[in-house]
Chain A
Amino acid sequence: MLNPLSFLALIGGAALAACRQVGALTLFAAEALSHLLRPPFYPRMFARAFVEIAYFSLPVVALTAVFTGMVLALQSYSGFSRFGAESAIANVVVLSITRELGPVLAGLMVAGRIGAAFAAEIGTMRVTDQIDALTTLSTNPMKYLVAPRLAAGTLAMPLLVVVADILGVMGGWLIGTTQLGFSSASYLTNTINFVQFEDVFSGLVKAAVFGFVITLMGCWSGYTSRGGAQGVGAATTMAVVSSSILILALDYVVTAMFFG
């Protein structure tokens, strides 16, 4: 017969394990941030991570943004035409892209690319003793591997989202002017007149937060991976899944801060 106490113990054990993980992750993030303020700094590692995130993620983010803008324009038109509000399409597109879809979709794309790549690279370094080797070579692995990536992720994501915002709006403009009968000038005038600084700024703040979370989860998953190839594979999955969930959860938090 199942002992009800053992069931409670199971739940309690899981809760304690979750608390331990959150605590360890918080300490990991705090240590990494402290290394950003203390020399030595590794500008080469920062530049490498920045190029990896900002430049090599550009195609996937750009394509996602353009098609999202195009779909948004089409969907808005088909919905808004039911009550004669077609003229609001440019406004809906720019608002949705800058506030929400630009940062969130760029974040999810970068989580898939960069979160996985960082977890795999650092995880492989962990299981092949390269992280221990760094320590024996008088180099702090947190300072060398984690801190530059966190800084690069936090700074690169807003730049990617600026590009995503512009291309998303242009995707809507393309559909609006070629299929929905808007004039180019009126579409762009509507867009520019409607969008406010806060719309773009809130999206960029989200981008910075998402960039930090993606790189943090990638580095954390890789750094704590164990057990050879299987461990690295699990770390990669963990990095993508956890950063994707955190992006959606933090999206709500930042939105509530700005517009709640």
Chain B
Amino acid sequence: MHTTNPKIRLRGLTKRFGDKLVLDGVDLDVQPGQGMVILGGSGSGKSVTIKCILGLIQPDAGTIEIDGRNVLAMGRRDREALLDRTGMLFQNAALFDSLPVWENVCFKLLAQKRITRAQARDKAAEVLAQVGLAASVGDLSPNELSGGMQKRVGLARAIAAEPDIIFFDEPTTGLDPIMGAVIDGLIVDVVERLGATAVSITHDMASARRIGTKAAMIHKGRIVWTGAASALGETGNPLVDQFARGEREGPIQMELRK
């Protein structure tokens, strides 16, 4: 049992889009330094949960606390200060295609004037090396990179400002299994090195076991299970076990129109 205060605490998080209730009272604690993986099928509310935490979507009800402070009650400056301490790897990397790779990697540092443009090239080379890319990649445009390289550059951008909370949205989606394992390895390495708290969302079980220390399953907008990521598939919870094993038969029924 954890005795420390959670780094992130969600209580009763609710979000509705029109008639569709996407989040139906999500409760979740993420401890400092923990690698939390949120699992769930498509449309189950995983991405909306992360976007609510990051302030990209305003929830209808509930609270989001980070380090004990209610994010939803924060003013603009406090919110910006909070974002300064977070990093995010988007599903499709979301690199700025009008900027070269080195400027993408150091975007936050340049925007905050923490480094000069001359220093940014060296810093980008240093961070790119941490994700296994050569310094010469820094001069390329994002559209010259393969999917795996884009993910690595996205990871480099997420960690360049050395955040203490990092979010990963489907980090291995669209990658071959080997590249997926490489990206997972890099995620584990950088999170460990930074001592950061990581929240990942995925439906890739192999990836979930590799990058997560703890896992939570979201189903129909609610957290239905939390436990050790290593236990996935053998949890005793029929929803989680069906999902982890990818079985067609079970309590989770796909809604198919006939």
Contacts and interface: CB of A to CB of B under 8 A. Distances in A.
Given A129-B94, A133-B88, A133-B96, A139 B54 contact: no
Contact of A139 (B51, B90, B111, B167): B111
B157 to A, nearest CB: 7
5 contacts: A40-B113, A125-B96, A136-B86, A136-B88, A139-B108
Given A130-B96, A132-B56, A137 B108 contact: yes
B55 A137 contact: no
B83 A128 contact: no
Contacts of B51: 132
B80 A132 contact: no
A129 B55 contact: no
Contacts of A128: 92, 94
B171 interface: no
B84 A138 contact: yes
Contacts of A139: 107-108, 111
Contact of A130 (B88, B91, B94): B94
A137 B111 CA distance: 8
Contact of B54 (A130, A135, A144): A135
Interface in A141-157: 144
A137 B92 contact: no
Contact of A138 (B92, B96, B97, B108): B108
B55 A135 contact: yes
- List the 9 closest A-B pairs by CB distance, nearest first: A129-B94, A133-B94, A136-B88, A137-B108, A129-B90, A139-B111, A138-B83, A130-B94, A132-B56
Interface of A: 40, 121, 125, 128-130, 132-133, 135-139, 144
Contact of B157 (A121, A129, A132, A137): A137
Contacts of B91: 129
Contacts of A40: 111, 113
Given A138-B112, A139-B111, 7 more contacts: A129-B91, A130-B95, A130-B96, A132-B54, A132-B94, A133-B88, A138-B80
Contacts of B80: 138
A49 to B, nearest CB: 11
Given A128-B92, A129-B91, A130-B94, A136 B54 contact: yes
A124 to B, nearest CB: 8
B87 interface: yes
A4 B238 CA distance: 54
Contacts of A133: 88, 90, 94-96
Contact of B83 (A121, A130, A136, A144): A136
A128 B94 CA distance: 6
Identify the interface centre among A121, A128, A144: most chain B CB within 10 Å of its CB.
A128
A260 B80 CA distance: 49
A139 B98 CA distance: 16
Contacts of A132: 51, 54, 56, 90, 94
Nearest to B169: A129
Contact of B107 (A121, A125, A137): A137
Contacts of B112: 138
A242 B173 CA distance: 39
Contacts of B108: 137-139
A6 B51 CA distance: 39
B142 to A, nearest CB: 10
Interface in B132-150: none
A40 B95 CA distance: 22
A133 B90 CA distance: 8
B84 A135 contact: no
Given A128-B94, A129-B90, A130-B94, A135 B111 contact: no
